[in-house]
Amino acid sequence: MSGFQAFQGKQVLITGGVGFIGSNVARRLAAIGARVTLADSLIPLYGGNLFNIDDLRDRLTLNVTDVRDPFAMAYLVQGKDYLFNLAGQTSHLDSMTDPRTDLDINAAAQLSILEACRLHNPGVKIVFASTRQLYGKPEYLPVDEAHPIRPVDVNGINKLAGEWYHLLYNNVYGIRACALRLTNTYGPGMRVKDARQTFLGIWLRNVIEGKPVLVFGDGKQLRDFNYVDDVVEALLLAALDSRADGQVFNLGSREVVSLVKLAQMLTELQPGARFEIVPFPAERKAIDIGDYYGNYDKIEAVLGWQPRVDLPQGLAATLAYYGKHRGRYWDNA
């Protein structure tokens, strides 16, 4: 999209920039000629992987730091035109076993980042990666932004606080900020080493390794998915458009699929691949939200965003990527 030339020469900070979505934002912005700095803690348990930015190392600055360090953040926000705030503890299961860490990263650190902006760079524009998880178990479908907020896990509560700190700083201090409530995002660079964040990563890995894909429950749960390039597009649109300030937007897809259908699509793309339906593990069932798909009319109307990459296309591209680079993500990772 030609409008993105506005990022040329601009100073951009991406927290969580070595992770899945952050590295894809960095790649797009570096190609446009933005001056990109990444802030990422590279905590081994989390989704950061230096291979995600292997092709970009000479076109950006990497600062290995933790967003929980207010002094580092106070330094890093200075002089930046845009902040894509994507660092996060992303595992729903881990948020239940270690709720305090989730609170520190997804809520308290977000407040420190915003304070750093207020004190050192109130002119920055911030786009925060929020999540559809904060709606909890849907009362109606598709879920729009007016749907009640009822998180079913600690992560959802802390992400909600993180989101609302951004809106508050927009509304009270005029620090331009907005939040996108992402749904299941997939593509090159996603976490495949384990199933802590999403089942789809491990499904892709199993397909490539010739192991069966395990579908929990009856496999009828409905979901929507966005390919990462479409999510990057939404983040960039939100950064450039003042109509996004102070707003939350759902992402989503018109392509709503059951998990069984998704497993079928995936296994059809790889000769010999297969899936099995197995009982839901108890710890996952407890925080499962049943069917979910989002209504993204608002971002379509306000920012003109629409997903462009369909599932067969996106899954094929993702499988091709991990087929080629598996050694960087799990064999030796």
Ligand X SMILES: NC(=O)c1ccc[n+]([C@@H]2O[C@H](COP(=O)([O-])OP(=O)(O)OC[C@H]3O[C@@H](n4cnc5c(N)ncnc54)[C@H](O)[C@@H]3O)[C@@H](O)[C@H]2O)c1
Give me the residues that bind ligand X (CB under 6 A), please: 16, 18-22, 40-43, 46-48, 66-68, 86-90, 105, 129, 131, 182, 184-185, 191, 198
Q: What is the 3-state secondary structure (H, E, C) of the chain?
A: CHHHHHHCCCEEEEECCCCHHHHHHHHHHHHHCCEEEEEECCCCCCCCCHHHHHHHHHHEEEEECCCCCHHHHHHHCCCCCEEEECCCCCCHHHHHHCHHHHHHHHHHHHHHHHHHHHHHCCCCEEEEEEEHHHHCCCCCCCECCCCCCCCCCHHHHHHHHHHHHHHHHHHHHCCCEEEEEECEEECCCCCCCCCCCCHHHHHHHHHHHCCCEEEECCCCCEEEEEEHHHHHHHHHHHHHCHHHCCCEEECCCCCEEEHHHHHHHHHHCCCCCCEEEECCCHHHHCCCCCCCCECCHHHHHHHCCCCCCCHHHHHHHHHHHHHHHHHHHHHCC
Q: How far apart are CA 100 and CA 156, in angstroms?
A: 13
| CA nearest neighbour of 176 among 128, 106, 104 | 128
Taking the least distance from each CB to ligand X, the nearer of 90 and 253 is: 90
Taking the least distance from each CB to ligand X, the nearer of 279 and 333 is: 333
Taking the least distance from each CB to ligand X, the nearer of 69 and 300 is: 69
Cβ 258 to ligand X shortest distance, Å: 18
Cβ 158 to ligand X shortest distance, Å: 10
Q: How far apart are CA 101 and CA 108, in angstroms?
A: 10
Q: How far apart are CA 152 and CA 141, in angstroms?
A: 17
Cβ 290 to ligand X shortest distance, Å: 17
Cβ 162 to ligand X shortest distance, Å: 8
Taking the least distance from each CB to ligand X, the nearer of 43 and 274 is: 43
Residues 6 or more apart whose CB falls under 8 angstroms from that of 189 comprise 19, 20, 21, 23, 24, 49, 52, 228
Cβ 124 to ligand X shortest distance, Å: 18
Cβ 323 to ligand X shortest distance, Å: 20
Cβ 266 to ligand X shortest distance, Å: 16
Taking the least distance from each CB to ligand X, the nearer of 8 and 239 is: 239
Cβ 210 to ligand X shortest distance, Å: 25
Cβ 127 to ligand X shortest distance, Å: 11
Taking the least distance from each CB to ligand X, the nearer of 129 and 303 is: 129
Taking the least distance from each CB to ligand X, the nearer of 212 and 328 is: 328
Taking the least distance from each CB to ligand X, the nearer of 21 and 124 is: 21
Taking the least distance from each CB to ligand X, the nearer of 16 and 188 is: 16
